[in-house]
Chain A
Amino acid sequence: GQQLNQSPQSMFIQEGEDVSMNCTSSSIFNTWLWYKQDPGEGPVLLIALYKAGELTSNGRLTAQFGITRKDSFLNISASIPSDVGIYFCAGLRFGNEKLTFGTGTRLTIIP
């Protein structure tokens, strides 16, 4: 099955820095979702995007649904220690009741 290409695979940043990550696909998706997974736990939904071009914020997190419908972006501003974890994008097509996940971006904050 198809998987989404997510980059970067890992990031090492200092506290306070901004973070950007993206997700791309060769196919169109109708919904984009961003999840975060803390160590030892299941993923938790952060942001859901439903329209091409849509820009949605959740606190320090901002995500965008790409105009082409083949990509999505997640930005985290002023990172804090609790932002550490793995971030996954996921896409959904109408009529296909399956979520396709990206390979994940592991975020580490350097003291």
Chain B
Amino acid sequence: EAQVTQNPRYLITVTGKKLTVTCSQNMNHEYMSWYRQDPGLGLRQIYYSMNVEVTDKGDVPEGYKVSRKEKRNFPLILESPSPNQTSLYFCASSLGLAGGTQYFGPGTRLTVL
């Protein structure tokens, strides 16, 4: 089954404790992206990757890092999480962005105390 998986689905952590949210897709997609969803603000892009070792900032990259060492994986790293990073995070992938269907993962709800 074609899918995007994220782990963990739920995470409660404390300020400053480094964490990684994993994302994996099994569709051999080149394009992968991370979004955060906040009430009233919709989905905002954090980082995206056009292919292995090619990443670029989205609209809200501050406080986040990503890596793309393999085509299927695109982890999101929070080196020093802060409470304003409490949000619902989605990973997405597509064959190509222009006109391509973006498949979204199930989401990771992060709470930073």
Contact with A along B24-63 (1 / 0, CB 8 A): 0000000101010000111111001010000010111000
Given contacts A45-B101, A48-B99, A50-B99, contact A98 B107 (CB under 8 A): no
Say whether A98 contacts B42, CB under 8 Å.
no
Say whether B107 contacts A41, CB under 8 Å.
yes
Tell me if A66 counts as interface (CB < 8 A to partner B).
no
What is the distance, in angstroms, from B76's C-beta to the closest C-beta of chain A? 15
Tell me if A67 counts as interface (CB < 8 A to partner B).
no
**Interface extent on B, as a size class?**
20 to 34
Say whether A42 contacts B97, CB under 8 Å.
no
Tell me if A3 counts as interface (CB < 8 A to partner B).
yes
| A104 to B60 alpha-carbon distance, docked (Å) | 18
Say whether B102 contacts A99, CB under 8 Å.
yes
Q: List the B side residues contacting A98 at CB < 8 Å.
A: 45, 48, 58-59, 97
Say whether B99 contacts A31, CB under 8 Å.
yes
Given contacts A97-B31, A98-B58, contact A44 B50 (CB under 8 A): no
Say whether B50 contacts A97, CB under 8 Å.
yes
Q: Which residues of B contact A (CB under 8 A)?
A: 4, 31, 33, 35, 40-45, 48, 50, 56, 58-60, 90, 92, 97-99, 101-102, 104-107
A-B contact pairs, 11 of them (CB 8 A): A1-B44, A1-B45, A42-B106, A43-B43, A44-B104, A45-B101, A50-B99, A90-B43, A97-B98, A99-B97, A99-B102
